Chains A and B, each alone.
Chain A
Amino acid sequence: MAEAHEAGAVVSFCGIARGTSKAGEPVAALHLDHYPGMTERSLEEIAQDGATRFGVADILVIHRCGTIAPGETIVFVAAASAHRRAAFLAADYLMDRLKTDAVFWKKEQGLDAARWIEPTEGDREDRNRWS
């Protein structure tokens, strides 16, 4: 990334699994189910859209699937651009899109029970502020 000398800014973001749910209960693990092929294409589409929308030089998105323990990284995004503003905006945009539109099914394993997660109203509002 950013090997071309015109990129003067790289912004990166790591998303890390929290040890507590939104309701404040302990989380033992996250399980992310994915659809091989369709999931990768959804990530590529989101990355391409972010690159086009903000005119950044390069974008990298890495997303894990399977079982993820609290404290482990789930997602990494980075955007490289000539100047910092576009890179900050692109990284922010990529995360809002990933949180709602990436093809994953996420299950939060608590100490006793597990529950499947869907995007919250807040997640949808975060995505819609870009439209």
Chain B
Amino acid sequence: MNTRILFFGRLAEQLGREREVDVPDQGCTLGELRLLLANDPDLALLAPGAGMLASLDQAIAQDDAQVRPGQEIAFFSPLSGG
């Protein structure tokens, strides 16, 4: 396991605050990472199109963004605002 991913909102309630996962050494797109993670039934909610948002290094990211091992990756339910 080379990367820690964080969860917020409804996802944190279901999955806990964080989890260690493997990001391919050569990197991949966020969409590819979502597919890899969603192979684990626990993490099926992270699949592309399942409605969960993601951020890379604390900036909201789309599925075509590049992900590297060790980057700060988070997944979360839609923001509620304050």
Interface positions of A (Cβ within 8 A of B)? 15, 32-35, 37-38, 41, 63, 74-75, 98-107, 116-119, 123
Contacts of A101 in B (CB 8 A): 79, 81
Q: Are A35 and B82 within 8 A (Cβ)?
A: no
User: What are 8 A-to-B residue pairs whose CB atoms are below 8 Å?
Assistant: A100-B81, A101-B79, A104-B81, A105-B79, A106-B80, A107-B13, A118-B78, A119-B80
Whether the Cβ atoms of B77 and A119 lie closer than 8 Å is no
Question: What residues on A are CB-neighbors of B12 within 8 Å?
Answer: 33, 105
Given A104-B82, A119-B81, A123-B81, 10 more A-B residue pairs with CB atoms under 8 Å apart are: A15-B82, A33-B12, A35-B8, A35-B55, A35-B58, A35-B74, A98-B82, A101-B81, A105-B10, A116-B77
A99, A103, A119 — most chain B CB neighbours (10 Å): A103
Cα–Cα, bound, A123→B82 (Å): 11
- Asked whether, in the complex, the Cβ of A41 is within 8 Å of the Cβ of B8, the reply is no
Assembly CA distance A45 to B12 (angstroms): 25
